[in-house]
Amino acid sequence: MEYYEKRSYVSIAILAVVYAVAFWHVAQTPLLWSGGEQALAHWGSIFLAVFLALVILTIVCFSILHAVHVRKTGEKPTRFVDERDQTIEHRAVTVGYYSFVLCVFLTITAMMIVPNSTLLFIGLLASFMVTGLVSDVMCIVLYRKGRL
């Protein structure tokens, strides 16, 4: 398995853990469903916490993966990123972008039907999650499929 493919699996695991905790917290906090000013502030802190958790976990896990990969294969770090990896990443990010646009569009459409701020924030949180997952899955598919 290629380094970037492994990285995509790790990224999916990070996303799954962070967003599972976030959605579990949302479900367990009645304040978030009230829609008041306090709820808005709490939503802000949730988004910030999710962002920080993703950044920190990504740095830590990728560093560990990098160290393990170097020890196992003996490949130098500069050899990891070549033009094919970049092409795959570019395509995966593009697909992720379109899925983000679609998710936001669906969230806004849902807001027109059910005008509720909680729904908006859940939709946004889910949009970020889906974008990350789609990008990583796309990366894996492109590495497995081979043809670009």
Q: By CB under 8 A, name the binding residues for another protein.
A: 2-3, 75, 78-80, 82-85, 87, 146-148
Q: Which amino acid is residue 84, in one-letter code?
A: R
Span between the terminal Cα atoms of the chain, in Å: 17
- Alpha-carbon torsion 87, 6, 23, 49, what sign? negative
Instruction: Give the residue carrying structure tokens 């920190």.
Output: 56
- Closer by beta carbon to another protein, 1 or else 13: 1
Least CB distance to another protein at residue 5 (A) = 9
Least CB distance to another protein at residue 147 (A) = 4
- Closer by beta carbon to another protein, 21 or else 75: 75
Least CB distance to another protein at residue 59 (A) = 23
- Closer by beta carbon to another protein, 86 or else 109: 86
**CA angle (20, 22, 26) in 5-degree steps:** 115
- Closer by beta carbon to another protein, 1 or else 20: 1
- Where b means 16+ CB within 10 Å and e means fewer, 6-22 reads bbbebbbebbeebbeeb
Report the distance separating Cα 107 and Cα 87, nearest Å. Answer: 30
Least CB distance to another protein at residue 98 (A) = 23
